[in-house]
Chains A and B, each alone.
Chain A
């Protein structure tokens, strides 16, 4: 397959990016050990406000990809990917993905200049927690079937699944208008908004349903099909990084386990049945990781395969869940217990697999884009 068109793009992180990665990794390793994740995932809010504040004000992560003129760091998808990858590795619990990634990308791609200036700085420094309210988390073409805004910007309808809405100060909503899709902002807790926390498969990512009963909203932009796809792609590439971080952690921790667990008088990692599965998994991870990093470079440079985001969302979804299956299976019975930490990554893998489109929907999207090009 032809990847010559992107050969001139960097394939390695720069020194600055490597240093940035070290900083993020150190912070996550410090603040998001499995014991902490366990506490947060059973808490109602689902995140530690002090750590969030530290992460935003001291390390500045919330504004990673938000331009400097809106109070962010002005980095791009590569650095955002670095953050997401480390967060995925450590199962960071907090509203980063909802606020910076989802709402951040939606605002950047579709809000008017005035509303970017108004809303992004809070998101960039973490004093505003925003979330993106989409009424469909499967595919962009289905967005706008359940949320409506009339010509007076009154919102009605229900978004069945919204990430971190229970802690959001700002709901950034994509809704159908009489003239295509529009972007709206609604302060959390506004009259007529009901946020109902859901029982979730992956308790490290808190979900709610959000209903709007004739809510007065502010229209902050138009959402073209192209801009929606661009937003969807950006979110998927960040999510792919998160997943590849988790998958790498699973492979490493699983291999460590097979080196110390002894059965039949030898470490179980010396049995080919396990070794071969790990070798296959490493290969799959190496492919998905290289493709994901490539996708970030494509978004950064605004070139490359137009289907790359869907390609890596599908690849990393399959890879993460395979790593999670292997993580449980190679630990045997202990892997299926609550006490062992592996299930936390398994659940994140499963929920990420279907979040923003299942692998098969993304492969179909990939083919559609490819054939439209040919």
Chain B
């Protein structure tokens, strides 16, 4: 089909079916039935087998019509793509539809107190007893785990194999007695994440995904979608005004819940946008030392944006060059945030001792100063990014490993 034909078809269908008076779930079930919820998925699994480009045409039409798309917020789409790639026919039939309709929320159960950067060092136990897997251990940094119906879980099923080989990947029901979810309060006062304690939690045998001992490969799929940042979540992602009607109310509630953990994310990036206005307002713009630091910040921010634009252009032109954009961009965000916090501190002076809504920019400066430490940790620490850049981009030799052999013999956290 040509893009034009697709555009016509989806437009015609929306004209006939889209109604703001439906409930979210009613509407999304219609979408799933017709394959519009995830047109890039295969025909046999709720999709239409479209290419990414064709799916983007569909997304554009939805956007133009103000029509709500499939549920996409949070971890649910990571789960969906992982199930689509590695799941059994039965798993796909059971799990994919309620993900798209938004009836099931999902969370990611990967990181542990003892394995952060070293994700493959997970030591949550999965033991097969009878027809079930019994799970014991603790996970951490689990966004939205307190709302989630299901989790994607990485756990160790064999302690005698080397660390990457002894892992298995499970789909776990979060609504069970063996699971205890507790919010994790951060240094900036927000609690965007949870800790999840599993004590004899149960996973039915049929909810192992990708086969026993294949957990690392399955997790790699999830992580690759996480890094890609999810282009197809665009369907219904931003709906323009005016937007009145039952379905929008339900949609707004869904998005508010999903976005709540991220309210401080602009602050952790340093609020570069506030630097010049603040400097002018306070008169710090006339201080030569401040001017130097602002100029450095602007140069970094521009340099970073231009470098990623250049990398994007290279990728599009099909260059074979190793393009370091991902890890460099991650590292750049840290450096920029740190410099921005430094400049904000210079600009504010003693006022930076204050916080709360009565302090500068309704407290956003204070929140920036105590949130920027997160950016060089979350999603892979700066140190890990530097390892990736030096080894994969610059081709420098790897460090000798001390984590080979059976996992049970490897030194790990107490």
Contact = CB atoms under 8 A, between A and B. Distances in A.
Interface in B272-309: 272, 276, 280, 285, 288, 291-292, 294-296, 298-307, 309
B390 interface: yes
A279 B324 CA distance: 10
Contacts of A280: 331, 386
Contact of A364 (B272, B288, B398): B288
Nearest to A368: B291
A173 to B, nearest CB: 32
Nearest to B296: A363
Chain A's interface size range is: 35 or more
B400 interface: yes
Interface stretch (B110-118, B168-176, B310-318): B310-318
Nearest to A284: B303
A279 B381 CA distance: 14
Contacts of B341: none
A286 B395 contact: no
A259 B288 contact: no
A290 B306 contact: yes
Contacts of A12: 310, 313-314, 317
Interface in A336-374: 360, 363-364, 366-367, 370-371, 374
A270 B400 contact: yes
A7 B312 CA distance: 12
Contacts of A286: 303, 307, 324, 328
Contacts of B377: none
Nearest to A266: B400
Contact of A288 (B298, B303, B386): B303
A276 B314 contact: no
B205 interface: no
Contact of A279 (B295, B296, B394): B394
Nearest to B314: A12
Contacts of A363: 291-292, 295-296, 299
Nearest to A360: B292
B306 A275 contact: no
Contact of B291 (A278, A288, A364): A364
B295 A11 contact: no
A147 interface: no
B328 A270 contact: no
A362 to B, nearest CB: 8
B389 interface: yes
Binding site secondary structure of chain B: helix
A1 B292 CA distance: 17
B302 A279 contact: no
Contacts of B46: none
Nearest to B309: A11
B309 A3 contact: yes
A311 interface: yes
Interface in B86-119: none
B313 to A, nearest CB: 4
Given A259-B395, A259-B397, A360-B292, A314 B328 contact: no
B307 A289 contact: yes
B397 A266 contact: yes
A1 B399 CA distance: 37
A85 to B, nearest CB: 14
B360 interface: no
Interface string A284-324: 00111111011000000000010000010011000000000
A272 interface: yes
Contacts of A360: 292
A270 B389 contact: no
A314 B295 contact: yes
B389 to A, nearest CB: 4
B396 A270 contact: yes
B375 to A, nearest CB: 15
A279 B397 contact: no
Contacts of A267: 397
Contacts of A315: 299, 303
A283 B328 contact: yes
A258 interface: yes
A282 interface: yes
Contacts of B305: 1, 3
A255 interface: yes
A238 B328 CA distance: 26
A269 interface: yes
B68 interface: no
A11 B396 contact: no
- Which of A12, A289, A367 counts the most B-chain CB atoms under 10 A from its CB? A367
- Which of A3, A269, A286 counts the most B-chain CB atoms under 10 A from its CB? A286
B385 interface: yes
A360 B272 CA distance: 21
A61 B303 CA distance: 29
B335 interface: yes
B395 A255 contact: yes
Contact of A1 (B302, B312, B332): B302
Contacts of B387: 272, 275-276, 279
Given A3-B302, A270-B400, A282-B324, A290 B295 contact: no
B217 interface: no
Interface in B17-60: none
Interface string A1-40: 1010001000110000000000000000000000000000
Contacts of A266: 397, 400
A299 to B, nearest CB: 15
B160 interface: no
B303 A290 contact: yes
Given A363-B291, A366-B295, A269 B314 contact: no
Interface in B329-368: 331-332, 335
B383 interface: yes
Contacts of B310: 11-12, 290, 293
A266 B296 CA distance: 37
Contacts of A294: 302, 306
- Which of B313, B332, B389 counts the most A-chain CB atoms under 10 A from its CB? B389
B393 interface: yes
Interface string B394-409: 1111111000000000
Given A3-B302, A311-B295, A366-B298, 17 more contacts: A1-B298, A11-B309, A270-B397, A271-B399, A272-B383, A272-B387, A275-B390, A276-B383, A280-B386, A283-B328, A287-B332, A290-B309, A293-B310, A363-B291, A363-B299, A366-B295, A367-B285
17 contacts: A3-B302, A259-B396, A270-B399, A272-B386, A275-B387, A275-B391, A275-B394, A279-B387, A290-B306, A290-B310, A291-B299, A314-B299, A360-B292, A363-B292, A364-B291, A367-B295, A370-B298
Q: 4 nearest interchain CB pairs?
A: A287-B303, A275-B390, A363-B295, A290-B306
Interface of B: 272, 276, 280, 285, 288, 291-292, 294-296, 298-307, 309-310, 312-314, 317, 324, 328, 331-332, 335, 383, 385-387, 389-391, 393-400
Interface of A: 1, 3, 7, 11-12, 255, 258-259, 266-267, 269-272, 274-276, 278-280, 282-283, 286-291, 293-294, 305, 311, 314-315, 360, 363-364, 366-367, 370-371, 374
